């Protein structure tokens, strides 16, 4: 049975972010539990990247699985324009209860990219509705906000976006705040707001961690500086917490931990605990109010077929309930283990710029800083053979495990990395 399925996959499936020219046959995953995936060959694989950063409490968590099954048997889907339902109303209330103050209106979509698209459209149309011409978005160098066109436009230009360069809209680009303490970012933002402040609709940031752009950690002080300056200029601040939300950086939300209240926040990935696709763009009441008008042209004309899918909302509610004190304790343990293990690893000459933020640890391999660099892929293949799922971003190696991961599990992952380093000197 196994070879047939792989053959079907080989013949008919087009995988994401995969060069099929020389991609090895993928593991055929048959089940998952806690921090582990199990494949058809009977292998157990530690999911050290939470399956593209989505799995929060662990795979197949029984509380979420039960909530999903219960909801699916009652109401699986209903159009969300002109209709509502209990899981969406309860989830909106629950999110508003845990998000930084001021965020009060939840717009549901499907994933991180759509949450960002909605945020950008909200910001641009907000100003239009107020009769001000503010067509400019500002974004950070090394940003990653998703793969749809608006999200790609706000993201750094690079190998992911190159084929579409002519179709992307220009944004004002601010220096990477992870370099040089963030002073250059704030100075550039000040200059932009001085010169073109009346044109800036919004500044979009990944708070405290530029994720897919290289797991670059930056200071809360800089984030507060960005908030102060955008507030003073009247520009909106969009916090893309698609990766950092739901405890990844330690506190429930990176903005909350930094004491920053954005105008719009994007959520996805961990929102459902990693069970189902769901996005949410949460706005302040003033933003929402600007769309409310007898003039129907001021409607936010955006929606997706599965907007606020009841099963996904039920998964998210169950996942939020698990984000409790015990989860916070597990996250602290993961952070402490990262710090201890990474400090050891950092003595290796190939390990550069070790960094930890909450449950995420990263370092650079001393290879060319390029997403297409083969060094990271070699480490990924080496680790997979030894039962650990890692997926370096070019030469950037990171661990981003589910919160149920034990210290022993994590130590095993670090041992595999150490073995790779000792067997493949630069």
Ligand X SMILES: Cc1ncc(COP(=O)(O)O)c(C=O)c1O
> Which residues are known catalytic residues?
17, 144, 240, 269
Helix (H) or strand (E) holding 202: strand 200-205
Q: What is the DSSP letter of 59?
A: B
Instruction: Tell me the Ramachandran region of residue 259: left when phi exceeds 0, alpha when psi lies from -120 to 50, beta otherwise.
Output: left
**Using rule CB under 6 A, residue 146 touches ligand X:** yes
Tokens of 394: 């070019």
Q: Is 35 a binder of ligand X (CB under 6 A)?
A: no
> By CB under 6 A, is residue 189 in contact with ligand X?
no
Taking contact as CB under 6 A, which single stretch among the options 39-47, 143-151, 305-313, 331-339 is the one that binds ligand X? 143-151
Q: 92 or 212: whose CB is closer to ligand X?
A: 212
| Candidate list 136, 172, 212, 283; residue touching ligand X; CB under 6 A | 212
Asked if 47 touches ligand X (CB under 6 A), the answer is: no
Q: Does 206 bind ligand X (CB under 6 A)?
A: yes
Interacting residues with ligand X between 217 and 256 (CB under 6 A):
240, 242-243
Let me know: does 255 contact 290? Beta carbons within 8 Å: no
**Smallest separation (angstroms) from ligand X to the CB of 303:** 17
**Only segment of 35-43, 75-83, 138-146, 188-196 that touches ligand X (CB under 6 A):** 138-146
Paired with 209 in beta bridges are 217
Asked whether 286 and 129 are in contact (CB, 8 A), the reply is: no
Which segment (74-82, 106-114, 357-365, 393-401) binds ligand X by CB under 6 A?
106-114
Nearer to ligand X, 148 or 327 (CB): 148
The single residue among 47, 111, 261, 364 that binds ligand X, judged by CB under 6 A, is 111
Q: Residue 378: how many CB atoms within 10 A of its CB?
A: 15
What minimum distance in Å lies between the beta carbon of 174 and ligand X? 16
Q: Does 117 bind ligand X (CB under 6 A)?
A: no
Measured from the CB atom, is 113 or 125 closer to ligand X?
113
Whole-number minimum distance, CB 87 to ligand X, in Å? 20
Mark the segment that binds ligand X (CB under 6 A) among 39-47, 88-96, 141-149, 400-408: 141-149
Q: H or E segment at 279? A: strand 279-284
Closest-CB residue for ligand X?
112
Full DSSP string of 255-278: HHHHT---SEEEE-GGGGTTSS--
Burial of 417 (0-12, 13-18, 19+ CB in 10 A): buried
Distances (CA, A) of 34 to 38, 66, 150, 169, 245: 11, 15, 35, 42, 20
* Count of residues engaged in binding ligand X, rule: CB under 6 A: 14
Q: Please state whether beta strands 279-284 and 216-217 pair in parallel, antiparallel, or not at all (unpaired).
A: unpaired
State the nearest-atom distance from the C-beta of 52 to ligand X, in Å. 7
Asked if 100 touches ligand X (CB under 6 A), the answer is no
Paired tokens of 415:
């041992």
Where does 159-294 have alpha helices with state H? 183-196, 220-233, 254-258, 285-289
Asked if residue 116 binds ligand X (CB under 6 A), the reply is: yes
**Residues in 262-301 at the binding interface with ligand X, rule: CB under 6 A:** 268
For the record, the structure tokens of 267 come out as 């959520």
> Taking Cα atoms as reference points, which of 238, 310, 245 lies closest to residue 276?
310
Q: Which residues bind ligand X (CB under 6 A)?
A: 111-113, 116, 144-146, 206, 211-212, 240, 242-243, 268
């Amino acid at each position: 049975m196994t070879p047939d399925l792989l053959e079907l996959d080989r013949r008919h499936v087009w995988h994401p972010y995969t060069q099929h020219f020389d991609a090895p046959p993928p593991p055929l995953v048959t089940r998952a539990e806690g921090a582990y995936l199990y494949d058809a060959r009977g292998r157990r694989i530690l999911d050290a990247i939470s399956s593209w950063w989505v799995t929060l409490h662990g795979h197949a968590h029984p509380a979420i699985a039960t909530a999903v099954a219960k909801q699916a048997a009652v109401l699986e889907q209903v159009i969300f324009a002109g209709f509502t339902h209990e899981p969406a109303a309860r989830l909106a209330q629950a999110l508003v209860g845990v998000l930084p103050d001021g965020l009060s209106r939840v717009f549901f979509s499907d994933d991180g990219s759509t949450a960002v698209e909605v945020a950008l459209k909200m910001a641009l149309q907000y100003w239009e509705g107020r009769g001000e011409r503010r067509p400019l978005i500002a974004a950070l160098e090394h940003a990653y906000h998703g793969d749809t066109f608006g999200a790609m436009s706000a993201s750094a230009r690079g190998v992911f976006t190159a084929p579409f360069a002519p179709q992307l809209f220009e944004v004002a680009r601010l220096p990477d705040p992870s370099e040089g303490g963030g002073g250059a970012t704030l100075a550039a933002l000040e200059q932009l707001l001085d010169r073109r402040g009346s044109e800036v609709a919004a500044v979009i940031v990944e708070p405290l961690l530029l994720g897919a752009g290289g797991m670059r950690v930056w200071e809360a002080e800089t984030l507060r500086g960005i908030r102060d300056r955008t507030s003073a200029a009247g520009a909106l601040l969009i916090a893309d917490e698609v990766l950092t939300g739901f405890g990844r950086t330690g506190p429930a939300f990176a903005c909350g931990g930094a004491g920053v209240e954005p105008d719009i926040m994007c959520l996805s990935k961990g929102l459902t605990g990693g069970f189902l696709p769901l996005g949410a763009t949460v706005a302040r009441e003033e933003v929402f109010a600007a769309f409310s008008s007898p003039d129907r042209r001021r409607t936010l004309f955006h929606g997706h077929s599965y907007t606020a899918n009841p099963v996904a909302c039920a998964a998210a509610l169950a996942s939020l309930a698990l984000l409790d004190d015990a989860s916070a304790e597990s996250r602290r343990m993961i952070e402490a283990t990262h710090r201890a293990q990474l400090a050891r690893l950092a003595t290796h000459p190939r390990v550069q710029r070790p960094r930890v933020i909450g449950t995420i640890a990263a370092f650079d391999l001393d290879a060319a800083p390029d997403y297409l660099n083969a060094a990271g892929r070699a480490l990924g293949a080496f680790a997979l053979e030894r039962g650990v799922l890692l997926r370096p971003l070019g030469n950037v190696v990171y661990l981003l495990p589910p919160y149920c991961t034990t210290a022993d599990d994590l130590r095993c992952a670090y041992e595999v990395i150490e073995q790779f380093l000792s067997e493949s000197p630069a």
